Structure 1
């Protein structure tokens, strides 16, 4: 009755098969932020799917993907919606995901890191991800690690260093993780003896890790592109501000929740991506206004508590999309950067703070650095500022 006004249409939808199941799924879609028009279209398609299932004699039977595809062979455009609906109802029989042949070994490595090495969950997850992706690159078959040789590891790491690939610093991290894993595997007889010691990391030169981000003038130009009333700009503006003004990491922005903001005291809290510690920041007026506008005008109604959600239904937390959001806008400015992701704005923030005269300790606190060396690297990039300081000092002496 809420979607259709025509009495004939209401009767047709109410007397169709699977009424309760269709209404439950439509209610779920409404909670995900679907518009009235989208709900009407889905209601129409669900009714057609329901009639097809009844005609095929599958009224109460759980179906496999192959059976759904066969039943809807003459109505293929309904297949994605039918799968989502049956999955929502718990009536889709899915085969368990196929585990990688070395999955048990990585699970044992994770247990070792948790119970014996005492590493944090974030570190364990990252290390397991590194190892899994590297074994995928090597195309290890059958789950045995004995076929892995130092030469294969060297060639794989060398290929990852090719133009457009990973930086030397990142490859060095891969090598450290691989050594830890193969040392663990060696102790259990899973790989060749001494394989861990043969993993070589590339040299990282002192100037190779200089963090390069856009200039602050470019950041201003970037924020200027978000002015106006277009929905995608209303959402992009607070995201870019949090990345550039506060220097937050991509994951820290995407994980912000509604309850992280204390509007009465004008502060918000951030959970560090690396340490899990909570940092509290003052909420500036401009950033607060941008967030409030997004909440009031753009954020879809949803059961998700994350601050930033996708614009198109079904609404879900915004994670990987942040990279494209930042990268597309930076490239549109025609600025030359080694990387165009959210971390470039973190570098811009650090360089800006250094230029305004903040100490490295203060900058490290702002960025959430626990290692002073992580902040000290920014002292190498502000050459103009250092020359001005030198000229001033020399002038005073002379």
Structure 2
């Protein structure tokens, strides 16, 4: 294994005479299989030598983080012949990071256990019950679970237990969020999630009967807010601004095009898998976040070129089947929150004049653009994956003139 990353006999000797050769080589081979270059694996190998010697490891054992950090500080101060002139720019944080990754790989890192919150078990049971409901989308389950968690965390910080909670605590939480700037629609969704949770809690005997009915939801005016996306000219400027050849730029451009051209949701792009793209037929498959439906789209030329560039020159070789993965080890799929950060940072850097940033803003921009080009609400609803026209009525309300110009639905001309 060592011969694969260096040809130096003196380096071979240092590795072969140091403890835990097999365990070190197993990890180095793991890094090579994940697609790391020889230079980075050589650097990891050098750190592993320092780790086993500084921590005096002659056999693998369970190690706590405090011990690793102390060893990193000792290693930082060491100026002996094996430390001097090697690993330029190395710091104690690098030592700690490599030690944690290596020990975690072998299951020997002791992770600090956070004390369990009283609401962990009931929340997990509620989430499992939601997931078992027929016709409830995974995105809805996650949304309800996350919103319930935020409320229960807030309640726990104020000394409340589940059996003590009433509708008044939920209403107080909603009033607080209103003062923090939450919209009526967001508050209504929060109330819906809490009513669902407390209805389940009542059925399990965790709280008083009637708690769910006491939660008051704000009235949401029908279609009064403007669509929250940037202008289409700004979207095009945003896409053109991403023209680098770095892994980050290649990944960002592919993401932005999927959001802008197809108006996909964050979770839908996050779930895209390599096998979802049929390059021979020039189509790709989307698993809808809401309703659990599946849709096929033609691969628009610029989008296809951007995705292929990312797959060929940017995406690391790894076992993960999702299209978009993290930039650094351990390579894993990017979640919806990570997707939001990628897009929001690009939009902020461009200084786009829009109140809302992130993938959903591009979704709104695409829908508004389609309407201005004369596409019908039915076409837009189908394109966006909505099951009814009510969800897209907002675009018509603010562009009645464009609504009257109905044309055949096409992707061409959007990019």
* Range into which the TM-score falls when normalised by the shorter chain: 0.7 to 0.9
Change (3 A) 1:278 1:310: same
Change (3 A) 1:147 1:383: same
1:46 maps to which residue?
A: 48
Q: What TM-score do you get using the length of structure 1 for normalisation? A: 0.87
Q: Tell me, which stretches of 5 or more residues in structure 1 are unaligned?
A: 390-398
Deviations 1:25-76 (CA, angstroms, capped at 9, x unpaired): 11222333433332222111111111234x36x6243334445455656245
Query: Within 2, Cα distance between the matches of 1:88 and 1:380?
Result: 56
Conserved 8 A contact 1:101-1:143: no
1:312 maps to which residue?
A: 328
1:74 maps to which residue?
A: 74
Query: Within 2, Cα distance between the matches of 1:24 and 1:86?
Result: 12
Aligned-pair distance for 1:291? 1.2
1:286 to 293, 296, 302: 302
Deviations 1:313-372 (CA, angstroms, capped at 9, x unpaired): 433323333222222222333332121111000011111111122211111111111122
Query: Within 1, Cα distance between the matches of 2:41 and 2:323?
Result: 24
Query: Within 1, Cα distance between the matches of 2:119 and 2:247?
Result: 45
Q: What TM-score do you get using the length of structure 2 for normalisation? A: 0.84
Aligned-pair distance for 1:298? 1.5
Q: Given the alignment of the two structures, is residue 385 of structure 1 paired with residue 387 of structure 2, yes or no?
A: no
SS of aligned partner of 2:297: strand
2:26 maps to which residue?
A: 24
Change (3 A) 1:90 1:244: same
Q: Given the alignment of the two structures, is residue 178 of structure 1 paired with residue 194 of structure 2, yes or no?
A: yes
Conserved 8 A contact 1:130-1:174: yes
SS of aligned partner of 2:303: helix
1:62 maps to which residue?
A: 62
Matches for 1:219-298 after TM superposition, within 5 Å:
219-298=235-314
Runs of 4+ in 1 over 6 A off after TM superposition: none
Change (3 A) 1:155 1:141: closer
Query: Within 2, Cα distance between the matches of 1:296 and 1:189?
Result: 55
SS of aligned partner of 1:268: strand
Deviations 1:109-130 (CA, angstroms, capped at 9, x unpaired): 3454455777455443432222
Q: Tell me, which stretches of 5 or more residues in structure 2 are unaligned?
A: 76-91, 407-415
- What is the RMSD computed on CA atoms of the aligned residues? 2.6
Aligned-pair distance for 1:174? 1.0
Q: Given the alignment of the two structures, is residue 201 of structure 1 paired with residue 213 of structure 2, yes or no?
A: no
Deviations 1:81-122 (CA, angstroms, capped at 9, x unpaired): 222211111223446554321222223334544557774554
1:354 maps to which residue?
A: 371
2:361 maps to which residue?
A: 344
1:335 to 349, 352, 360: 352
1:393 maps to which residue?
A: none
Change (3 A) 1:116 1:267: closer
Q: How many residues were matched structurally?
A: 386
Change (3 A) 1:216 1:18: same
Query: Within 2, Cα distance between the matches of 1:112 and 1:311?
Result: 35
Matches for 1:210-221 after TM superposition, within 5 Å:
210-221=226-237
Conserved 8 A contact 2:381-2:389: yes
Aligned-pair distance for 1:260? 0.8
